[in-house]
Amino acid sequence: MTDETRGAPDLEWLALSIVETCMRNTGLEDLHAGTFPDSVVGDYSDVTVVSPHGEIPWNALSRISNVEMKTLMIEVVDRVFTYLTYPEAAARPLGGAARWEKPKLDANLMKAVRRRLAQAPAASDDRTPS
């Protein structure tokens, strides 16, 4: 087991539980509801949205407004804070998340983690990723 995967089963369950509890069934579900367009060519270059100011190519369209994003982020942060404050009471057996893909370390975030760990003063912590 590498340093990067130490405690993986518990952390995998925790990641799934936090996301299922704190992200699913939020305002994200409202944003996800509705009709999603089909694309004949597959890359959505053939899809446009008609607005009072003209057509907007689907690939150039923001699909979430600043107000919706702010509302969603506040709700998710509050839910994560509540989960972390009361983990035993908030955690529950996994529902649909039990069938999701197994979590893995995010490559881009790990670049920042390694950079920050390399800059930090040496500590007795043995979790330094290789």
CA proximity to 75, closest of 61, 67, 14: 67
pLDDT of residue 123: 58
CA proximity to 103, closest of 19, 24, 12, 5: 12
pLDDT of residue 9: 79
Residues 96-107, mean pLDDT to the nearest whole number? 94
- How far does Cα 109 stand from its chain's mean position? 12
CA proximity to 18, closest of 72, 86, 91, 88: 91
Q: What are phi and psi of 24, to 5 degrees?
A: -70, 155
Place of tokens 């760990």: 117
Residue 129 pLDDT more than 80?
no
Tens-place pLDDT, residues 3-40? 555 567 789 999 999 999 999 989 999 888 888 999 99
- Give one DSSP letter per residue of 66-96, joined into a string: HHHHHHHHHHHHHHHHHHHHSHHHH----SG
Tens-place pLDDT, residues 52-96? 999 999 999 998 999 999 999 999 999 999 999 999 999 989 999
pTM, two decimal places: 0.75
Beta bridge partners of 51: 54
Alpha-carbon torsion (71, 74, 77, 79), positive or negative: negative
Q: Which residue type, as a one-letter code, is found at position 8? A: A
Where helices occur in 23-65 by DSSP H, the ranges are: 27-32
Split at pLDDT 50, 70, 90, the class of 1 is very low
